[in-house]
Amino acid sequence: MKKNTTFLAALLFAGGLSAQVITDTVHTDASYANDNYYTLNDGNQFTVDRSNWDLAFACDGMGGQATTIRINDGIGTELYLYSSDTSDWSTLDTTGFDWSQNALYNSDESWETGAFENMTLSGPFDVGWGDYNVTTHQITGSRLFILKLSDGTYRKIVIDALINNDYTFRYAELSGANTTTGTVTQTNHSGKNFGYYSILNYTDLDREPATSSWDLVFTKYVTMIAPNTPYPVTGIL
C-alpha cells in the first residue's frame, strides 16, 4: 500500500500579514520505506530508499568543521560504546556488558549530534569517536564501539581518523572475523549534509540532495519519549 502524508504550509510574505496556504502530499511508499526530501519553495520531492545505509558522515553541507557521524536508527541500527581504548579491539568480550547503560543515540534536535558523539566528552578536543589534534588538524579515533545492524547482526567498529577530507574506519564481526576497512570522502559529497555508508554492502553511497535544495525530510528516526526511553517514530526533520 502506498503511504501518503498530506500537510498544510502557511507561507508568510514580508511587508504584510497575508499568507498563502498550500496543501501538498508527500509519498513515502509502503511501510514508510522511503525518505522524502521536500522543498517548500516549489514542492519538489526527492525520494530515496531509507534502508540502504547504516552510517552517515558529515560533509561540507554541515559546515567545514563538522565531524558528526550518525546511525540509521530509523531501520533499527543501534550503537553502543564498548571502550575508550581502541587497543581493546582484539580482546572485545561482551560477557557481562551493560548494553542499556552504554547505548548511544542520534539527537533528533540537531543534525550535528550523532550517536558517535552523543556522550560525555572529556574536553574541547574530544569529538566523541576521536580526538582533534590542534597541530595537524587531524582527528584520530579514540573509542571502540559495537554496532547492531538492522538484520540483527553485530559489528565492532573504530573510526580511525578524519584526515584531508577522508573518514577511515574499520569494522569486523565481534569475533574479529571479516575485518574490513571503509572510507568516506567528504569531497565526493560536496554541498550535502552527509555521505553514507552501508556496512552490510561495503558501499559508499551518495543518496541525499544538496543541502541548499530542500527544507524538510519525511523519515523515520528514534526520539526519547522519557529519560533513557528511545522510541521509533515516523516524522519530519
For the chain, give the percent of residues with pLDDT over 90.
Answer: 84
CB count within 10 Å of CB 179 equals 12
More confident: 72 or 226: 72
> Cell 558523539, residue?
117
Residue ranges with strand state E in the chain: 4-12, 19-27, 34-38, 45-49, 55-58, 69-71, 78-83, 103-104, 130-132, 139-141, 144-148, 154-163, 166-172, 180-185, 194-198, 203-205, 216-226, 229-236
- Quick: pLDDT tens for 65-116: 899 999 999 999 999 999 999 999 999 999 999 999 999 999 999 999 999 9
Q: Give CA angle at 141 (151, 181), nearest 5°.
A: 50
Average pLDDT value for residue range 187-202: 97
Average pLDDT value for residue range 31-50: 93
Looking at residue 211, its pLDDT comes to 97
Q: Is the separation of the CB atoms in 175 and 192 below 8 Å?
A: no
**The CA-based dihedral angle spanning residues 105, 106, 112, 116, taken in that order and rounded to the nearest 10 degrees:** 40
Confidence of residue 27 (pLDDT cuts 50, 70, 90): confident
Model pTM score: 0.92
Average pLDDT value for residue range 52-58: 98
- Quick: pLDDT tens for 121-149: 999 999 999 999 999 999 999 999 999 99
Judged by DSSP in three states, 70 sits in strand
Looking at residue 20, its pLDDT comes to 76
> Cell 553541507, residue?
61
Q: Is the separation of the CB atoms in 73 and 146 below 8 Å?
A: no
Nearest-angstrom CA–CA distance, 99 and 230: 14
For the chain, give the percent of residues with pLDDT over 70.
Answer: 92
